[in-house]
Structure 1
Amino acid sequence: MSTLATDYEKTDIGTIQIAPEVIEVIAGLATVEVQGVAGMSGGFAGGIAELLGRKNLSKGVKVEVGQREAAVDVSIVVEFGHRIPEVASAIQRNVKQAIESMTGLSVVEVNVHIHDVQFKAPDKQLPEEEDTAVQRVK
């Protein structure tokens, strides 16, 4: 998908076009800023990019871009203990505000898909448990 330059994006020097990937990155960054978001839930391609050492800033984000409007879908993992409807509403507000202020496009919808809940990492093993683990590996 490519965005077409609208009238106000045409200047006497040329036109301004915003790639959909740019909007995906903006939406991804605006999403992870929200408290309660543990991370993005990307597909197979996002996982491959991270294995290769690249930070995929658009992981878990899909956009549809027209001349003046954009629609966004974000897929997230929420932290346990946070109210999912409140986290989703905050994401919708933050993504809409970020895209509209940075690009001038009107965001018609922001759909939030919750794919998982992340629990806190287990605390470090007690010293007694470490000793038994060492003894078992003789």
Structure 2
Amino acid sequence: MTDKNHVIDMDEQHTGLGKVEISPEVIEVVTSIAAAEVEGVATMRGNFATGVVEKLGRKSHGKGVKVDLGEDGISVDVYVIMNYGVSIPEVAKKIQENIYQTLKTMTAIDLTAVNVHVVGVQLEHQQVDQEAKQD
């Protein structure tokens, strides 16, 4: 890794073409999308800043994800809100598998851990209210 918390150096294939670096923000976006596409996930948890950005019209694709570039490797923490009635352990396992497989396929990065934090449950009437507001 070059700048410890800024860029991830990929293993150089001795092709003479140069090197590839991946920003942690790219990992955040890929991880967030991979988690959100799992059935049973209502939404990703954002913070105040992502809420403000979304109100201004920009979608924050990396919300609800924290990337840790540690000594022993790269780990991600995912903060999700689940739909009511789903099996939380099963959905969490699917989230872990989908994130791991997606990042492996897209970036060739082996993660040391994918930690899923369930921070809430969304009831069906809340989903209907949000859909009505969007229309």
TM-score (norm. length: structure 1): 0.81
Q: In the alignment, residue 44 of structure 2 is paired with which amino acid?
A: M
Which residue is 2:89 aligned to? 85
Which residue is 2:47 aligned to? 43
Aligned length: 124
Sequence identity of aligned pairs in percent? 43
Unaligned runs of 5+ in 1: 125-138
Q: 1:70 aligns with which of 69, 74, 81?
A: 74
Q: 1:111 aligns with which of 94, 115, 119?
A: 115
1:30-77 per-residue CA deviation (whole Å, 9 max, x = no partner) reads 001101000001111111111111111101001123699421001000
Partners of 2:96 and 2:58 lie apart in 1 by: 26
1:12-33 per-residue CA deviation (whole Å, 9 max, x = no partner) reads 2321100100000000000011
| 8 Å Cα contact 2:10/2:22 also seen in 1 | no
Higher Cα Rg, which structure: 1
1:70-93 per-residue CA deviation (whole Å, 9 max, x = no partner) reads 210010000000011111100000
TM-score (norm. length: structure 2): 0.82
Which residue is 1:8 aligned to? 12
Cα distance change, pair 119–7 in 1 and its aligned pair in 2 (3 A): closer
Task: Give the RMSD, CA atoms, in angstroms.
Answer: 2.2
